[in-house]
Structure 1
Amino acid sequence: MNRTTLSLIAGATALAAVTGFAVLSAPATPGADTTAKAAAQLPVERTSLLCPAPSLSDIAETSYTSFTPVTKGTGSGGKADLRVAPQESKDGSNAGGGKGKGDGKSGERKTEKPVLTPKEPGKPVTGDTSGAESPALVGTADGRFAPGWTVQETTEVAAGTGRGLQGVNCTAPDTSFWFPGASTAADRTDYVHLTNPDDSAAVVDIELYGKDGALQSTVGEGITVQPHSSDPVLLSTLTDEQQADLTVHVNVRSGRVGAAVQALDDKLGGDWLAASTDPSGSLVLPGIPKDATSARLIAFTPGDADADLKVRLASPSGLITPAGHETVHVKGGMTTAVDLGDVTRGEAGSLVLTPTDRSVPVVAALRVVRGKGDKQETAFIPATRPVGTRATSADNSAKGSTLSLTAPGRSATVEVTASAGSEGGTPVSKTYTIKAGTTQDIQPPVPSGLKGTYALTVEPKSGGPVYGARTLAATEGGVPGFTVQTLPDDRGTVAVPEADEDLSVLQK
């Protein structure tokens, strides 16, 4: 596949951010017509993205794919680009004491030429880089490029720790992130990548929760992430305890950051672990590959109350209860892990967690393995939000992409559109019906005359909520490499209440 080579500066590590902004007029005059008016859904005007430094391996090969779906009402202006982010310590030693080991100028803005610049909405643009020195990227899009802007980072590592296929969507900055599924076991090397997109420093606490509760550590407190920079923190530097299953909470004291966990295994490959959706009483984890040889559920409840969850699998024929795993008990403040084994039994599946009695907020993720023996590879599926208005998936090829959609409640009708290719091709759309309580694996439509890679947009048209995930697969040396990205709403639009100007405020 031909892709423009990116010239990237040496660096280290980071993550992601997507943010929309809207301007509202003044509130309505008191005493006037106060009938509530429905909020208009308008395109976001600005989106920020941060992509983590992809790998510590000298033999890593990384591709970036940027795509903005065409959105009505955006006008003809705007631009988007991705630039190199200044870096902090590559080895995670910043964790001790909370100060970065940069050159003292890591907070300064960089003026290097953009390494990736989309040309028009509706058509992907791609780029490549290689090696361990590929840096984090910081991006901004406005105008017609902002709504639904998506960048996928995909890395192939042929050998060594974390070998296989690793993928992550560059995502939004926030103040709190939950990562059930991390580890400090001897055969794991897990980093938390922190990225600060703003003009002032961010201060972050990294909290770890194991099977017996919080792990005591002061080194994860008060980590400073300089403006417009990225910082990888090695989890094993935060605690002396080796635990196979941890929940990581990134809590931002001041500012905002983007965060993701890079989870690398000595024997089972590795992948990026994206944050679970916010703690909720019911969760959906979509898109377990049908040939998964094992699945491990990791769950955590942040409060003191225990949670009892009903475990069901949304299969192609409906909701079923896995034998021997009808429920899972999650103790308050403690991480619980359950081996579900070959839960899908050769069929498409999504995990649906609901309270057995009272609802207690929970976060969860699945660690999924494909292959056998020394040819195994790992990916993660966090609990996610529904597709909502529209979800976008970049970096698809004619072979190797599988779209998984589930409707855990009511049936739903969904339109899937394949974009033009990055080097040629005509968009194609197809409509699918997902029956209530089922998961359907779809070989997505492919643009006619496809050249290069293409993007998928998923738009529910009727029925109940839909959840989705996209799996990329590429076998190398007999190892079934794969990575799974969930498909939450791409937040391409924002609700803007209709309001009138109140000039009387000028007289007060």
Structure 2
Amino acid sequence: MNRTTLSLIVGTAALAAVTGFAALTAPAASSGGTAKAAARLPVEQTRLLCPEPSTSDIADTTYTSFTPVSPGTSSGGKAELTAAGAQSAAGSDSSGSGKSAKNKKQPDAPKVTPKEPGTPVTGTASGSDTPALLGTATGRLAPGWTVQETTQVDAGTGRGLLGTGCSAPDTEFWFPGASTAGSRTDYVHLTNPDDSAAVVDIELYGKDGNLKSTVGEGITVQPHSSEPVLLSTLSSAQESDLTVHVGVRSGRVAAAVQALDDKLGGDWLAASTDPAGSLVMPGIPKDATDVRLIAFVPGDADADLKVRLASPSGEITPAGNETLHVKGGMTTAVDLGDVTRGEAGSLVLTPSDSPVPVVAALRVLRGKGDKQESAFIPATAPVGTRASVAGNFGKDSTLALSAPGGAATVKVTASAGSEGGTAVTKQYTIKGGTTQDVHAPVPSGLKGSYALTVEPVSGGPVYAARTLQTTVEGVPAFTVQTLPDDRGTVAVPQADQDLSVLLKK
């Protein structure tokens, strides 16, 4: 993925203004002539898009908005969510999704309006007509802004707990782990935040390569609208393990796959991180009963990968699955069973020989028999400078931290509660090659929900994931969200005055 978020676009615009000002007013350059490192300043605007949560009449959805406290931000700003229009309501339903919003009044967005950083705000919605949401945060509420969408469905296809972090618009996405099998109903949700239409191509790759189809070509997503596309309308082939590629010809969209199973519940499948030679999928729950790895090579070259599990005690090689061969342009899946064996873990893929860019994700099951529930863990980027996740409720939340390289120390802050409570911070050291389920801090005097913010202090890269869990009609329902860097700052080079250029010929 290009990950060209609106936050960075606006940051670049701000950069131009700052640079121009510095060129006129900065003090004279030092005689040493050494270039100064770029300063990192908070972004001034962030866009996030939340997909339509459910088509179930018994769905209950909670939205939680949170911005961590960032030094150096301005005093103003706001964050708000507005309802996206339905594309079919505008007279265009080229996706074959089977949905029609004609003559149907568009519902209002839930009221989620934070007033200051450091304190989350929640809003709720019920039923099948909750729209996709378009979100904008500015000023001091923009840096690191995150919105969590969590839905509980008590019965029917995809029953269980479905969760996703609302995502930024981009131009390319990879989703290993989708399916067109008879038991699955998978949609890719496309949301366009801009004033002009976006044109999108959707490609499906199975075990034998590209599933040739023209139906997914040139899908138009109208401005400020969202369109769910049913994958089974793009190909008649029934494939248990698919990789979905979303490429944007013009404009930008946010994309997410909603994977719903008749018997195994459902969840949101977020996009995998950019194709890379090494990948990490953090936060496999310790009580996982089955873990399935799905991998895909976007290019023509084959990839040979080492498969390792970073457990609390160190790296483990899964018996019988020490390596994985992935053919170029083809989706490969392998069942790892109960690979964690009662301990939290993260799956780490590294090249056996020359690195070949790969995308990957895990489908994870908890429970047994007809009481199973599924969730997905895509390969993710490290925490980087800082990452936050909202919508936590006391003991129902688990934070997994993984340091697949060297040891690392991180600071974890539990925010104030949405209805009361005081923020608390703790520090943790993670041994190299391990994953730890940490007892994350809880706000003092907590009322409502809270957010967790992870900030590396020292050591190697840290990967993180948060698991929410509850019980739905006797089913151990859960959802997992990874914590990549929040991209809350942008690099702004320092510029110095140099009047000597006026004397040069």
Q: Please report the TM-score for the alignment, with normalisation by the length of structure 1.
A: 0.91
Maintained 8 Å contact 2:97/2:233: no
Correspondence 1:317-328 to 2 at 5 A: 317-328=313-324
State the shift of 1:500 in Å: 3.7
Whether the aligned pair in 1 keeps the contact of 2:88 and 2:102 (CA below 8 Å) is: no
Structure 1 Cα separation of the partners of residues 110 and 180 of structure 2: 36
Query: Do the aligned residues in 1 keep the contact of 2:107 with 2:130 (CA within 8 Å)?
Result: no
Of residues 269, 294, 297, the one that matches 1:273 is: 269
Q: Which residue of 2 aligns with 1:75?
A: 74
- Find the counterpart in structure 2 of residue 4 from structure 1: none
Greater shift after overlay, 71-80 or 270-279? 71-80
Alpha-carbon distance in structure 2 between the residues aligned to 1:226 and 1:129: 24
1:409 match: secondary structure:
coil
For 2:218 and 2:101, locate their aligned partners in 1 and report how far apart those are by CA, in whole Å.
17
Aligned counterpart, 1:120: 116
Aligned-pair Cα RMSD in Å: 2.7
- The aligned counterpart of 1:383 is 379
**2:189 and 2:257 in contact (8 A); partners too:** yes
Check 1:164–1:99 CA distance in 2 against 1; reply closer, same or farther (3 A cut). closer
Distance (Å, rounded) in 1 between the aligned partners of 2:156 and 2:165: 23
Partner of 1:44: 43
Greater helix proportion: 2
CA displacement at 1:113 relative to structure 2: 8.0
Q: Secondary structure at the match of 1:295?
A: strand
What is the aligned counterpart of 1:283 among 268, 279, 284? 279
Kept in 2: contact 1:162–1:266 (CA 8 A):
yes
Deviation of 1:112 (Å): 6.8
Q: Where does structure 1 lack aligned partners over 5 or more consecutive residues?
A: 1-15
- Distance in 2 between the 1:100 and 1:62 partners? 20
- Matched-pair contact (CA < 8 Å) for 1:309–1:329: yes
Partner of residue 429 from structure 1, selected from 422, 425, 429: 425
State, as a whole percentage, how many aligned pairs show the same letter.
75
Structure 2 letter corresponding to 1:68:
T
Structure 2 counterpart of 1:129: 125
Query: 1:19 and 2:7 equivalent?
Result: yes
**Bigger shift: residues 203-212 or 37-46:** 37-46
* 1:163 corresponds to: 159
Instruction: Answer yes or no: is the 8 Å Cα contact 1:425–1:450 preserved in 2.
Output: yes
Match of 2:342 in 1: 346
> What SS is found at the alignment partner of 1:81?
strand
Task: Name the CA distance, whole Å, in 1 between partners of 2:304 and 2:109.
Answer: 53
User: Match for 1:463: what amino acid?
Assistant: G
1:385-424, Cα deviation, whole Å (9 max, x unpaired) = 0000001010001121000000000000011000000000
Alignment partner, residue 88 of structure 1: 87
CA contact (8 A) 2:315 2:433 kept: yes
Change (3 A) 1:64 1:324: same
**Per the alignment, do residues 450 and 355 of structure 1 end up closer, same or farther by CA in structure 2, a change over 3 Å counting?**
same
SS in 1 for 2:174: strand
Within 5 Å, give how 1:400-479 maps onto structure 2: 400-479=396-475
1:251 aligns with 2:250: no
1:497 pairs with one of 490, 493, 497: 493
> Which string of whole-angstrom CA distances, capped at 9 and with x for unpartnered residues, describes residues 348-374 of structure 1?
100000000000000000000000000
| Cα distance, 1:81–1:17 mapped onto 2, change above 3 Å | farther
- Are 2:250 and 1:262 aligned? no
SS of the aligned residue for 1:19 comes to helix
2:137 aligned residue: 141
CA contact (8 A) 2:409 2:459 kept: yes
Unaligned runs of 5+ in 2: none
Q: 1:454 to 1:98 in 2, by over 3 A?
A: closer
- Please give the per-residue CA displacement for 1:1-23, whole angstroms capped at 9, x wherever unaligned: xxxxxxxxxxxxxxx97623222
Deviation at 1:494, TM superposition (A): 1.2
* Deviation for aligned residue 1:102: 6.5
Task: Please list the CA deviations of residues 131-172 of structure 1 after superposition, one character each: whole Å capped at 9, or x if unmatched.
Answer: 000111111011100000000000000000000000000011
Counterparts of 1:429 and 1:264, CA distance in 2: 37
| More displaced 10-residue stretch of structure 1: 304-313 or 73-82 | 73-82
Pick one of 181, 186, 189 that aligns with 1:185: 181
1:239 aligns with 2:232: no
Partner of 1:60: 59
| 1:17–1:170 CA contact under 8 A, matched in 2 | no
Give yes or no for the alignment of 1:358 onto 2:354: yes
* 1:36 Cα deviation from its structure 2 partner: 2.4
Alignment partner of 1:144: what SS? Answer: helix
Between the aligned partners of 2:414 and 2:293, the Cα distance in structure 1 is 32
After TM superposition, give the deviation of residue 443 of structure 1 in Å: 2.4
Q: Secondary structure at the match of 2:232?
A: helix
Question: Any idea what SS the aligned residue of 2:383 has?
Answer: coil
* Structure 1 pair 313–18 and aligned structure 2 pair: CA distance change class (3 A): farther
Q: Contact between 1:89 and 1:102, CA under 8 Å: does it hold in 2?
A: yes
2 CA distance for matches of 1:230 and 1:486? Answer: 24
Deviations 1:452-506 (A, max 9, x none): 000000000000000000000001221000000000001111111112467869x
| Secondary structure, aligned partner of 2:274 | coil
In the alignment, residue 316 of structure 1 is paired with which amino acid? Answer: P
One-letter amino acid matched to 1:327 = T
Give the C-alpha shift of residue 213 in structure 1: 0.3
SS at match of 2:429: strand
Counterpart-to-counterpart distance in 1, 2:334 and 2:247:
26
Cα pair distance change 1:237/1:453, threshold 3 Å: same
Partner of 1:306: 302
Query: In 2 relative to 1, CA 33–105 (structure 1 residues): closer, same or farther, beyond 3 Å?
Result: farther
In the alignment, the residues of structure 2 paired with residue 403 and residue 350 of structure 1 have an alpha-carbon distance, to the nearest angstrom, of 12
Cα separation, partners in 2 of 1:112 and 1:481, compared to 1, 3 Å? closer
Between 286-295 and 94-103, the greater mean CA deviation after superposition: 94-103
Distance 1:352 1:279 in 2: 14
Counterpart in 2 of 1:5?
Answer: none
Aligned residue pair count: 488
- 2-structure distance, mates of 1:175, 1:259: 9
Equivalents in 2 of 1:128, 1:104: separation in Å? Answer: 25
Q: What is the rounded CA distance, in whole Å, between the counterparts of 1:197 and 1:263 in structure 2?
A: 23
CA distance in 1, matches of 2:480, 2:405: 23
Amino acid at match of 2:64: T
The amino acid that maps onto 1:424 is G
Q: Rate the CA distance shift 1:137–1:502 in 2: closer, same or farther, 3 A.
A: farther
1:423-451, CA deviations, whole angstroms, 9 ceiling, x for partnerless residues?
00000000000000000001211111000
Contact kept, 8 Å, 1:390 with 1:457, in 2: the verdict is yes
User: Structure 2 length as normaliser, TM-score?
Assistant: 0.92
Q: Is the 8 A contact 1:99 1:224 kept in 2?
A: no
